[in-house]
Each structure stands twice: as structure tokens, then as C-alpha cells.
Amino acid sequence: MRVAMYYNNQDVRLEEMPTPRIGPGELLVQVIASGICGSDVMEWYRIKKAPRVLGHEITGVIAEAGEGVSRYKVGDRVFVSHHVPCNTCRYCLSGQHTVCETLHTTNYDPGGFAEFLRVPAINVDRGVWVLPVDVSFEEGVFIEPLGCVVRAQRVARVQPGQTVLVLGSGMSGLLHIALARALGAGRVVATDVHPYRTEAARRFGADVVLHATEDVPARLREVNDGRLADVVFVCAGAMSAFQQSLRSVERGGTIQFFAPTPPGAELPIPVNDFWRNSITVMTSYGAAPYDLTVALDLIRARRVPVAEMITHRLGLAETGLGFRLVAEAKESIKVIIEPQR
């Protein structure tokens, strides 16, 4: 079968490798659509395991079902989660599924930028969703990234009427904007440095869009009745965005670091000010099965307009171009690879 083999962001090669063979309890899925995630182009994070086949936002059709598989059948249209929790450890039992060791060590074989992939039995058991007939393969690609955003806003306790600030209007930022709008945020404010993305932020639900180099806290007070944001989501890896977040949160508010920084970055926090003003600083990583289910429901109900976020559909041989588009972070939003083209 054909795969797109990642060596670095500028070197993604079309190669051949054997189609995976499945065992008992496993599935072979023909990949129909596979999204390029912002984390796929975090070179400092990915290159240490190169060469490898990346891709973890996939939908496809079950081509083979292993012995003992009873819940799914050949021909089912599915979304498959690459990471799944054990559901029995102390972290899972306390609702912290995304720090479960099993979740961090599970994956499918070889990756989503391939014509076929093998779904291990543990993923079959707790990481496969049959797509409803009214959800397309392309829309299903968003289940994983939207699930991560669902979890982030759930743990940040976003409430109707709040002012939500999204720093960075790339793919994850736009999903945060759209979800906050769907959840009834009173005002959604977004930032970015690129005009293409500031326009997209408006289109997907931001009431106010600011250039990231402005005095964001001052401008926020101007457009928000003298107040800062109740919840701030940092969706850009630039340290300036993290620093900006510390100055943009209202008393009693929450800052969530949704994006990571480059390795070794440190952020001084004004502890006494935050203590006095009861400000919460938190992070969010990944999605639990519950969040993925909610994401699918939101997509099916058309509460988050994911199909409108797709800007590029490329064949497997064009995966390198897709990586460059996402890494440049200019005039693209969601880039989808279609391995059967």
C-alpha cells in the first residue's frame, strides 16, 4: 500500500509498505479522509521519531474484521481514535482519562496518511465510532480535534454569558471560537497576526477580532464594558500569546494553555496577583471517549460548522504540500488528505 512517510516538515515522501495484517479482535480500515493536525507539523515534537507515518484524525471504511469482532462489520463507515484510555486506572476513575498511561501508549498501525491501517483490539473495544449517515467522511475527520476542544472547554467550565478570549485563530482556535459561540458565550474575542485567519475568526463566530500585536488587554476592556475575559484559551505556541494571556484575564477567571510552547520555555506567573484575584491557570491535552462522543453529536447537529473550515483536499502524493500549508499557517485552515485518490 502507499503511505506518506514523514521525515521532516519539508520532506514527506510517498512510499510503499506492506498492508497491515490483522489478528483476533482487530480491524483493517481503508482510510478515506485524514486531517493534518497542527501537532503533526510541530517539528521539534515529531522529528525525534522520524521516519514514520503520521496522521491521527481519520475516517474510513472497515475492510476486514478479525475473529471475535461483533460490534462492527465490513463496510461500516467509521471514525477511529488513535489514543484510548484503560478506563480502570486511578486517573481514569477520577475523570483524568487523558493522562492515563494507556492512552499515551496506544495508537494504530501505521498512521492515518496511508491507504489502510490496522486498528488494535483495545482501540476496537473503546475507540471506534460508526459515522451516522448524515455525517460525511470529511466532517468525521473533525471528531478528534473538536473532541479536544470539547474537553478543554468542559474542564475550563465555559458558561453561557461569559466573555471568552481566544489567542490564535488557527484550526484549534477557530474550533474554540465556534464551540464557545455554540455554548452561548456572551462575547467571543479572538486574535491572530494573519489577515486570512482574522477574517476566518469573524466568519466562525468571533464578535471582536484583534491583531495579536495590539495592546490586547486594553482593547479588550474597550470592547467588553471595561472588563477582561472570563476565560482565556491560548491556542498559539508563541510565548507572546502566553504572556498576553496573563494580562487578559478577569478576576475569578481562568486561563487555559491549550497549545504547547517550544521545548524548555518557561513562563513567570504573577503569583500574588493571581492569588488575590482567584485566577485559575490550567492546561488541557487530548480528548476522552466522552468528549469524542459529544464532538460527533455537535457535528451531526450542525452546531459547529466544520465542513466550512475545510480549505484543501489533497491526494496522498500531495501530503508534503499539505504539511507545508499547515506549517506556514497562512492561507489554509483544515487540510485533508484523501489516501484513495
Cβ distance 307 to 136 under 8 Å? yes
CATH number at residue 15: 3.90.180.10
Decide if 296 contacts 143 (C-beta within 8 A): yes
Report residue 313 as a C-alpha cell. 483536499
Domain identity same for 303 and 201: no
Render pLDDT for 58-67 as a digit per residue (tens, 0 to 9). 999 999 999 9
| Domain identity same for 211 and 295 | no
- H-type alpha helices, the chain: 43-46, 90-93, 101-105, 121-126, 137-140, 143-155, 171-182, 195-203, 216-223, 239-246, 271-276, 289-300, 319-328
| Over residues 230-236, mean pLDDT | 98
Give the model confidence (pLDDT) of 6-19 as tens digits. Answer: 999 999 999 999 99
Could you tell me if 216 and 244 are in contact, meaning their C-beta atoms sit under 8 angstroms apart? yes
Please tell me the total count of domains within the chain.
2
171-223 tens-digit pLDDT? 999 999 999 999 999 999 999 999 999 999 999 999 999 999 999 999 999 99
SS3 call for 338: strand
Say yes or no: 245 and 311 in one domain. Answer: no
Q: Is residue 81 part of a domain?
A: yes
Domain ranges, residue 210: 157-283
* pLDDT-based confidence at residue 262 (cuts at 50, 70, 90): confident
Return the amino acid letter for 54: L
Which residue's C-alpha cell is 514527506? 12
Q: Which of 283, 310, 329 is the endpoint of a domain? A: 283
Task: Tell how strand 334-338 and strand 310-315 pair up.
Answer: parallel
Residues 171 and 271 in one domain: yes
The CATH number of whichever domain residue 177 belongs to comes to 3.40.50.720
**One domain, residues 161 and 122:** no
